[in-house]
Structures are given as C-alpha cells and as structure tokens.
A and B are shown apart, each in its own frame.
Chain A
Amino acid sequence: MRKKNLHGWLYLLPAILFLGCFMVYPLVDVLIYSLEEGYNFASQEMFGVGLYNYSYVLHDPYFLQAVKNTFILVMITVPLSTGIALLISVALSSIKRLRHWFQTVYFLPYVTNTLAVGLVFMILFKKTAYTDGLVNLMINWFGGPSVDFIDGPYWAKMFVLCFYTIWVVMPFKILILTSALASVNPDYYKAARIDGTPKWRTFTRITLPMISPMLFYLIITGFIGAFKAYSDAVALFGTNLNAAGMNTIVGYVYDMLYGDSGGYPSYASAAALILFAIVFTITCINLLISKKSVHH
C-alpha cells in the first residue's frame, strides 16, 4: 500500500513541480508583495505589513480610470462581439456557395498580428497633418465634422478601442459557433419543418438551446479575456495609456511594474489581485446563470 502511494506521488511529481514553480509560488508571492508596505525592490526593505497598498491603488485616479475603461470595454464588447459572431455564424451556415471562402475571410483577423491590425486602424482612424483618416473622410462625405479618434474626445477613443476589440475577438467566436451550429443534428430541423415551426421559433427554441453550452463558453472566456485587455489599447494609443486616459487594469499593473512611473511591485500586486477578485466574481455569476439556462 505504502509503495503504491509512493508510485502515485512519483507520477505526480513533474506536474507538481512545474505547477508549484510557475503557478503556486508566483501566486503566493503576489499575495505577499501586495501586503508589504513601502517595499523597495533595490534595497529589499519594507516598512511593514498591511492593507495600505490596496487602499493606495483604490484611491489612485489612474487606477479608477483604468477600472472604468475596462468595465466599459467589457460591457460593450462581450455582448456585441458574441451577438454579431452568432449572426455571422448563422448566416454562414445557411449559405452553401462561397461558404468556405467567407469562413476564411472571417478567420483572417485571428492569424493577423495585433500590432499590424493596430496599424491598419491607425490609417482608418488617425488624424494627421496630411489626412483626417479614411473614416473621417467618410463622415465628411455624409456632411459630419471630423473627429479625432486617436487623440480626441474620450467617447471617440473608447469607440475605436471597442471596435478594434470586437474585430479582433470575433474570428475565434465565429469559428466555435459555426462548428457548434454544424454539429446540431439536421433531423431536429427536419422534424421542426414537418411540424411547421416558424424560422424564428426554430432558432430560439431549437438552435439556441442546442448551441447554448458553446455560447456560454464564449461568453465566460470573453469576459475573462476582455477584463485582461491591454495589448489592444497599446496597439491603438501607444504605451503611455495613462496620458491618453485609455489605460486598462492590466495596463495599470504593467505601468506599476515597468512603466515610467514603475518600480512598485506591491501596488502592481494589489491591483492584480483586485482584478482577480473582479474576474472571479463575474465568472461565478456567469456560471450561476449558465447552470439555470444552459442545456447540457
């Protein structure tokens, strides 16, 4: 019996070792950092232990701005991207001709580099000395005034960021949803047809419940991904996100560690743990809802 136990632990050793080194230890370390007040990286000294770092972060206007930005981003992009992806997937699975071609087109953003996409968005939206950008040209064409989307008003910048995020996350969702739609047994649709089920009712009463597990998977991972947004904002507004007023929570953590105002691992850790608490809460809520409404 003892020997068998020993064997078991032996087999588990690689996993435990790696998880311990790269998951558990850093997690504990972050927790410890976040509780060390006035910790100095260079001298490895601190004043004491307590919750001051959390209090500092929660009163930092930059952090509050980052939280606000992140929440707006999440609340807009997750429902919109999932909804649009669902529309496109349903449209894709209802056509026969050119289907593969369209599928490839919709999947392209997934394999495109974030920064390259950012560059394209710059050309579309950025106002320079020579041109107002393609989008502004179109707005002017319809008789509207030019808007500076990259350095202009807050709503314009937020619009570009949301637009960009939705565009980037869409391909994966379309991929998952088209395969989910394809896996629904066609006999259900035949049965529905024979019973004279209207199209809309077929969609809401048969298709949606059938793909609901995948839909909820996308919503949950979508929430988590959007809360961790950072690179998208950098691609559009550069590294000084605080100045642009477009920082996100992860961006704030990065700035606290390595940014111009950086060198504060304790503040960064506190902010990271606050983000963790937020994501954890939202995911729990999501799971609770999904338990009630998802058919497995």
Chain B
Amino acid sequence: MKVVLENLTKRYQSGNKKNGGEVLAVRDFNYEIPDGKLVGLLGPSGCGKSTTLNLICGLENPTEGKIYFGEDDVTDLPPENRGVGMVFQNYALYPHLTVKQNILFPLQNLKGKDRPTKEEMNEKALEAARLVQLEELMDRKPKELSGGQQQRVAIARALVKRPRVLLLDEPLSNLDARLRLQTREEIRRIQRETGITTVFVTHDQEEAMSISDEIVVMQAGVVQQIGKPQTVYDDPKNLFVAKFLGTPSINLFDGKIQSGKLMIGEEAVMDVALSDRKVTVGIRPEGFVLFDGGAMSCKLLRVEVMGRDVSIVSSHPACQADQLRSIILSENKVDEEAETVRFDLKPGKVFLFDIESGDRIEVEAHA
C-alpha cells in the first residue's frame, strides 16, 4: 500500500502573538511513500516529523492537504478506520495486561462480522508473537520484560490486525546502544517479512541511514531532501542536510573562489569552474587524503586510532569549528610529533554552499 501525502500542511494555534498566533508544524509536504518500503522521517526535535506521523495515523488532522492510502482518500477518516498500526516511543503497553492480552487487545475491539472467533484471535496473536520472536513470553507482564522485548510486544500489537501502514515513533530511542543495533535489524527483518509499508520517525541519522529504503530530512516543518540514504549523503541539497547526515559530521570552512580556484584560507585546494565569490566549503571526514605534498595544511592536534581507521584531529584558521576531523585508513602512518599535516581532497567529498541561503552550488571540482 503506497501512501501519498499531498500539500500536507499543519498549523497550530499558539498564544504567542508575535508569529500571528500560529505555529507552522508541517509546511506543504508532498511525497509518495512507495508500497512496501521502509521510510525514515529524519530531523532535529521540533522539525515536524512526529506531527507528520500523527497526521498519517489520524491522531491529528491536517490544516490543508490530503492523505491517500493507495487510492483511498483517508484525510477525514478517524485513526481506527484507516488501518494503521502504531508503535509509540514509550511503547504504551498496557501495564496491567500480559503480553498476550496486549497483543489480543486490538482484535477484541473488533465488532460484528469482522470479529474473529476466540481460536482465530489466539492464532493471530501467536502468529504476531512468533514474528517478533516472543512466543515464549506470552504470559509475562510488560514490566517483567526488557526494553527491547517491550518494543517487540508493541510491534506485535501494532501488526496483529494486519495494518495497511505501520508507523513507528522514535522506535529505538529508549534502548541502550547495543540493543539499538539489534533492534533496528529486527525492525528491518519484520518489515521485509510482512511487506507492510512502514514509516518511522527518528532524530538519529545513523539509525535512519542504516535501515531505511528512503529517508526524508526535515527542518522547521519543511522537507529538505528525500531520497535513498546513500544518495542524500553523497549529494546533499543544502548545508543543513550535509551537516545533519554523517558521523563524525562534515567539516565546514569559510572559502572563496578566486580565478577558477577554490581557496581555503590562503591555499588553493581545487579547481572549480565558477566565477569569483565567497562560499561555505563542506568536506566529509573521509574526503581527506594524507599526502606530504597535499594542498591543504592543518595544525595537528592529536591522532585517535580506532582499529579499522585513524582519526586525525587538527585545526585550520578558516575552519568554522575549533577543530576538524579527518578519517583515513589505518595503513597510513601519521607522525604524531609533527606540527602540521598536509591533505589532498577527494573531489566527491567536497561540497560548496551559498553563504547566505546554504543552498548547494552544483559544480564539478577537480584536484
């Protein structure tokens, strides 16, 4: 089931007179979520991603715009008639009910001819539990489960009615680091097995990048970029997207174009076909190549060795932050006593942005 968002806009009333008594949570969101895919809504807190999720599930109504599930217009349907399953950030498992009763709960709400018999209900509950590998824990209460297990109960409860769309609100934020890795694989697997179109919300870019088929980066209610995770990472549309994706994050420099050369500080680091202007230069940490005759020289601060690769922390007068971080393969030998390090840059990892708007300046760069 594909989900289509058409000019979706949500405004809230607020007591603040300064902005006209209104808060714009989501502005003019257009997107067709492909059938059977896993989509991550990504952005900092307050960017409107949770509101978008609530609009899709029907807990909130859009101020403008339409929502379609397949060909059905569901904009004015209440949540229970949309056929959505939702997993809440805190799971919202009913604490006084056992795992089994929790999973059965949505089925027991059904009335009339939709209502399965008791055996069918038990069968479906067991099936959902098996999908999330919980069938051993059916008689436990939620508080007797670990965070990851609770999460899986919540997913089973959301899936037991065979929803057309599955929605997950910050599904991993309440788990510790190790469980988070495990659980996100789990979500991916469950989504693949069921083939249900799934939308999840997260502020953690790594989480979104790792399991999504597509990601939607949002800021202040406005969609910044939509695409495959790797595409968005490799080809960010603006400074915000470039900064938001990637750990360690992108290094930013004040630069300028001077007679076909990109200047960072006093050094010409690359050839670009642009007229003279000031630019913001973004260089991914993996965009540096350690080279004695490199074009860019930085003051070496320290070297961090982390197994597979080496992280060089240095400083540069034109860098917008106090220090910049570059990641190189561990085969490279770094002289930790040296005052300066010199780098060459990989063209594909260097992005130029307008200093006012932050928009990406599309241009071919050469070393």
Knowing A185-B90, A187-B88, A187-B90 touch, does A295 contact B79 (C-beta < 8 A)?
A: no
Whether A195 touches B80, Cβ cut-off 8 Å, given contacts A187-B88, A190-B88, A201-B109, is yes
B window 74-130: CB within 8 A of A: 78-81, 84-86, 88-90, 92, 94-96, 105-106, 108-111
Decide: A187 and B106 in contact? CB cutoff 8 A: no
- B59 proximal to A (CB < 8 A): yes
With A185-B90, A198-B109: A193-B96 Cβ-Cβ less than 8 Å: no
A-B contact count (CB 8 A): 55
Question: Is A181 in the interface zone, CB < 8 Å from B?
Answer: no
The complex places the Cα of A201 from the Cα of B161 at a distance, in Å, of: 18
Q: Would you call B86 and A295 a contact (CB within 8 A)? A: no
Interface of chain B residues 1 through 16 with chain A (CB within 8 A): none
Whether the pair A195, B109 counts as a contact (CB closer than 8 A) is yes
Residue A14 interfacial (CB < 8 Å) = no
Nearest chain A residue, comparing its CB with the CB of B108: A201
A198 to B58, CA, bound (A): 16
Out of A193, A196, A205, which one reaches B59, CB within 8 Å? A193
Chain A residues with Cβ below 8 Å from B92 are 185, 187-188, 190-191
The answer to whether B161 and A195 touch across the interface, beta carbons within 8 angstroms, is yes
- Which secondary structure dominates chain B's binding surface? loop
Question: Are the CB atoms of B80 and A193 closer together than 8 Å?
Answer: yes
The answer to the question of A243 belonging to the interface, with a C-beta cut-off of 8 Å to chain B, is no
* Nearest CB in chain B: distance from A11 CB, A: 36
Chain A min CB distance to B81 (Å): 8
User: Taking each of A185, A194, A201, A295, which has the highest tally of chain B beta carbons within 10 Å of its own beta carbon?
Assistant: A194
Shortest Cβ distance from residue B233 to the other chain A in the assembled complex, whole angstroms: 33
A185 to B91, CA, bound (A): 11
- Tell whether A210 is near chain B: CB-to-CB under 8 Å: yes
Q: Does B57 contact A (CB under 8 A)?
A: yes
Known: A201-B109, A209-B96. A196 touches B80 (CB 8 A): yes
Task: List, in ascending order, chain B residues with CB within 8 A of A179's CB.
Answer: none
The one of A185, A187, A188, A197 that contacts B109, using a Cβ cutoff of 8 Å: A197
| Shortest Cβ distance from A208 into B: residue | B96
Find the B residue at minimum CB distance from A201.
B109
Does A138 interact with chain B (Cβ within 8 Å)? no
- Complex alpha-carbon distance, A194 and B58, angstroms: 8
Is the beta-carbon distance between A194 and B57 smaller than 8 angstroms? yes
For the complex, what is the distance from the CA of A67 to the CA of B18, rounded to whole Å?
67
**A27 located at the interface, meaning its Cβ lies under 8 Å from any Cβ of chain B in the complex:** no
**Size of interface on B: residues with Cβ below 8 Å to A:** 25
Query: CB within 8 Å of B: which of A173-206?
Result: 185, 187-188, 190-191, 193-198, 201, 205-206
Instruction: Report how far A185 CA is from B110 CA in the complex, Å.
Output: 24
Residues of chain B with a CB closer than 8 A to A185's CB: 90, 92
Closest to A210 in B: B96
> With a CB–CB cut-off of 8 A, which chain A residues contact B89?
187
Residues on B with beta carbons closer than 8 Å to the beta carbon of A201:
108-109
Whole-angstrom distance between the Cβ of A233 and the nearest chain B Cβ: 40
Task: State in angstroms the CA–CA spacing of A205 and B95 once bound together.
Answer: 11
Q: Which of B86, B96, B108 contacts A194 (CB 8 A)?
A: B86
The A-contacting residues of B in range 44-83, CB under 8 angstroms, are 57-59, 78-81
Q: Which residues of A contact B57 (CB under 8 A)?
A: 194
| Assembled-state Cα–Cα distance A206/B102 (Å) | 11
The CA of A24 and the CA of B109, in the complex, are separated in Å by: 55
**Alpha-carbon distance between A295 and B93 when the two chains are bound, in angstroms:** 14
Chain A residue nearest in CB terms to B80? A196
Chain A's closest residue to B110 (CB) is A196
Bound CA span A295–B96, Å: 6
Distance A209 CA – B85 CA, assembled complex (angstroms): 24
Interface code B221-252, partner A: CB below 8 Å = 1, 0 otherwise? 00000000000000000000000000000000
Q: Contacts A187-B88, A187-B90 hold; do A195 and B106 have CB atoms under 8 A apart?
A: yes
CB of B217 to closest CB in A, whole Å? 26
Interchain CB contact under 8 A, A206 and B94: yes
Q: Which chain A residues border B58 with CB–CB below 8 Å?
A: 194
How distant is A188 from chain B, measured CB to nearest CB, in Å?
Answer: 5
> Chain A nearest CB: distance from B196 CB in Å?
15
B79 touches A193 (CB 8 A): yes
CB distance from B283 to the nearest CB of A (A): 43
Q: Which residues of the partner chain B approach A193 to less than 8 Å between Cβ atoms? A: 59, 78-80
B-chain residues with CB within 8 Å of residue A198 when the two chains form the complex: 109, 111
Report the Cα distance A53→B96, complex, angstroms. 49
Are A194 and B84 neighbours in the complex by a CB distance under 8 Å? yes
Shortest beta-carbon distance from B107 to chain A in Å: 9
CB distance from B210 to the nearest CB of A (A): 26
Beta-carbon nearest neighbor of B86 in chain A: A194
A190 lies within 8 A of B59 (CB)? yes
In Å, the complex CA distance between A63 and B73 comes to: 73
Interface string of B5-38 (1 = CB under 8 A from A): 0000000000000000000000000000000000
- The distance in angstroms between the C-alpha atoms of A210 and B92, with both chains bound, is 13
For the complex, what is the distance from the CA of A157 to the CA of B96, rounded to whole Å? 43
CB distance from B94 to the nearest CB of A (A): 6
Measured CB to CB, the closest approach of chain A to B238, in angstroms, equals 34
* Alpha-carbon separation in the docked complex, A197 to B90 (Å): 19
Bound CA–CA A105/B168 (angstroms): 42
A48 vs B81: C-alpha distance in the bound complex, in angstroms?
80
* Shortest distance from the beta carbon of A204 to any chain B beta carbon, whole Å: 12
Give me 19 A-to-B residue pairs in the complex whose CB atoms sit less than 8 angstroms apart, sorted by A's number.
A187-B90, A187-B92, A188-B94, A191-B92, A191-B157, A193-B80, A194-B80, A194-B85, A194-B86, A195-B106, A196-B80, A196-B81, A196-B106, A196-B110, A197-B80, A197-B105, A206-B94, A210-B96, A295-B96
Known contacts A194-B59, A196-B110, A201-B108, then 19 further A-B pairs from the complex at CB < 8 Å, ordered by chain A residue: A185-B92, A187-B88, A187-B89, A187-B90, A188-B94, A191-B92, A191-B157, A194-B80, A194-B85, A194-B86, A195-B105, A195-B109, A195-B157, A195-B161, A196-B106, A197-B105, A197-B109, A201-B109, A209-B96
4 closest A-B pairs by CB: A196-B80, A295-B96, A195-B106, A187-B92
A-to-B contact residues, CB < 8 Å = 185, 187-188, 190-191, 193-198, 201, 205-206, 209-210, 295
